[in-house]
Amino acid sequence: MAEKSKKNEMEYNPQTGNLKQRLARVKTTRWVRFGIVVAVFLAWTVWLGNWWVLLALPLLADIYLTQFIPYTWWKGIKNSVVRTIFSWIDAIVYALVLVYFLFLFVGQNYQIPSSSLEKSLLTGDFLWVNKMVYGPRVPQTPLHFPLAQNMLPFFNCKSYIEHPQFDYHRLKGVRSVERGDIVVFNFPAGDTVALNCPNPDYYTLVFENGRDAVKNHPDIFGEVIYRPVDRRDNYVKRCLGLPGESLSMREGLVYINGKQLDEPKNVQFRYIVTTDGTVISDNVYEDLGVSVEDRGFNGQFYEMPLTYEMVKKLKALPYITAVERVTDAMLVGSNDKMLTHPLGHDYGWTHNNYGPVWIPKKGAQLDLTLENLPIYERCIKNYEGNSLEVNDGKIYINGEVANSYTFKMDYYWMMGDNRDNSLDSRYWGFVPEDHVVGTPMIVLLSFDKDKGGLRWNRFFRSANPDKK
């Protein structure tokens, strides 16, 4: 037994032998593993386009071959319990590192938290988001816990360290964002957050309550913090407007460069439904696919979101007397004009009647005026990092008078398929390219909160079957 213990100690002692002796002890299987790792590492380096990372090659060689650094020193511990504990720690650290790189450069899971994309994606869907389609971003906040977006559960603290911060850089992908794509992105208005009130966003809270009220009442609104781009909350919407296009809405229909856009198959609008006095049963709701949360009744009529197909089914019922789309006045009220983007500026735009608005494109120059400046102020100032102010009727960018601005990034217009129940670009504006995370590929699994079970028919189905 003593001889076996001594043998183990010699085997895991990193200080035994010179370079030649260490290499002579390396098994063939370990050379093969090292070769595979080096090949993957070199391919990743080429993809990154940063040859400085090749400086890590000697470290890989030491990990797999020479082991001058005692990475597995714990294997020589005689106490079996302690050795087992360290083996678990080693496995967990290895798994976290693997997950870190997987989530950064390949993809990650994402849960649908709201009904803004119903019926395309349902509340409770868990998605696999592919980051390689548009090209993954090199981490701007590299020091973070890989299984949490911005807050550690239970500990209620940040899951990341703010420094160092790297500039935005996206690796080469398969293609850029296309119209009709369902896109996961970091919430643009989520740069500043009142922790107790994440919804509505901080800027809406300030507009409705005043900046001093939000700042001076942490007991109500919580601590106000800033979040880096890649640590902002993840949102998911459908891309309808591309860089350089002009987008407008008329009676809820989207127009691109003056031409009406074909709506997604499962687009929903809110309807008022009246009956001859017959109560709409739960069975009818379930057959239509209307969730419990969306079933509204005020004693005289029913209100619910419906697709065009659901409207046809409802109208076919003998006791339904009318199915009418909700109008602007019925839907939002007078304050909606001030809550649409740009917040606090009345352009006469509403939830269903919006624009036209030009979507910024990288390299494109926009003539700036005091009239259109509020629309693009966040792009110029917050997203592209310029100082911007207005004095004596003149616009100053980085201290100089500016009559135009050339954009550094592409921007996108994102909206939900559940049009009347979606806080989207109509309320917080454009999505910069550096906020784009990826596109959902498949539904991994789905929980139905109304029935308290799983939606088995949604497992491993396409997350965007209508996108060709």
> Where would I find the H helices in 222-371?
282-288, 308-315, 328-331, 336-339
If you ran DSSP here, which 8-state letter would residue 255 be given? E
Tokens for 272? 């008022």
What value does the mean pLDDT take over residues 83-98? 88
52-66, 240-254, 335-349: the lowest-pLDDT one? 335-349
**Closest Cα partner for 290 from 424, 118, 465, 116?**
118
Per-residue model confidence (pLDDT) at position 336:
60
Q: What is the pLDDT of residues 117-126, one digit of tens each?
A: 877 888 888 9
pLDDT in tens, 395-443: 999 999 999 999 999 999 999 999 988 899 999 999 999 999 999 999 9
CA distance 364 to 403: 14
Q: What is the mean pLDDT of residues 161-182?
A: 93
Give the integer Cα–Cα distance in Å for 19 and 343: 66
CA distance 124 to 455: 9
With vertex at residue 146, the alpha carbon angle to CA 141 and CA 147, rounded to the nearest 5 degrees, is 135
Q: Give the whole-angstrom CA distance, residue 355 versus residue 83.
A: 66
In sign, the C-alpha dihedral spanning 204, 205, 210, 211 is negative
* Token pair for 169: 């850089």
Q: Alpha helices, DSSP H only, in 201-333?
A: 202-209, 211-216, 218-221, 282-288, 308-315, 328-331
Q: What is the pLDDT of residues 305-331, one digit of tens each?
A: 999 999 999 999 999 999 999 877 665
Task: Give residue 468's pLDDT band: very low, low, confident or very high (50, 70, 90).
Answer: low
Cα–Cα distance measured from residue 304 to residue 282, given in angstroms and rounded to the nearest whole number: 13
Within 132-267, strands assigned E span 151-152, 157-158, 182-186, 192-194, 224-226, 234-241, 246-250, 253-256, 259-260
Give the pLDDT band of residue 9 (cuts 50, 70, 90).
very low
Share the mean pLDDT of the chain.
89
Which conformational region is residue 101 in: left (phi greater than 0), alpha (psi within -120 to 50 degrees), or beta? alpha
- State the pairing for strand pair 431-432/436-448: unpaired
pLDDT at 10 over 50: no
Tokens representing residue 225 in the block: 């913090």
Give CA torsion, residues 218, 223, 224, 230, to 10 deg: -150
Radius of gyration of the chain (CA): 28
Structure tokens at 406: 């050339």
CB 134 within 8 A of CB 438: yes
Q: 289: exposed, middle or buried (C-beta count within 10 Å: 0-12, 13-18, 19+)?
A: middle
- The per-residue pLDDT for range 255-277, each reduced to its tens digit, is 999 999 998 888 999 999 999 99
pLDDT computed for residue 399 by the predictor = 95
Is the pLDDT confidence value at 12 over 70?
A: no
Whole-number percent of the chain with pLDDT over 70 = 94
CB atoms within 10 A of CB 340: 25
Comparing 65 with 257, the larger pLDDT belongs to 257
Q: What is the pLDDT of residue 15?
A: 53
User: Distance (Å, rounded) from C-alpha 194 to C-alpha 218?
Assistant: 8
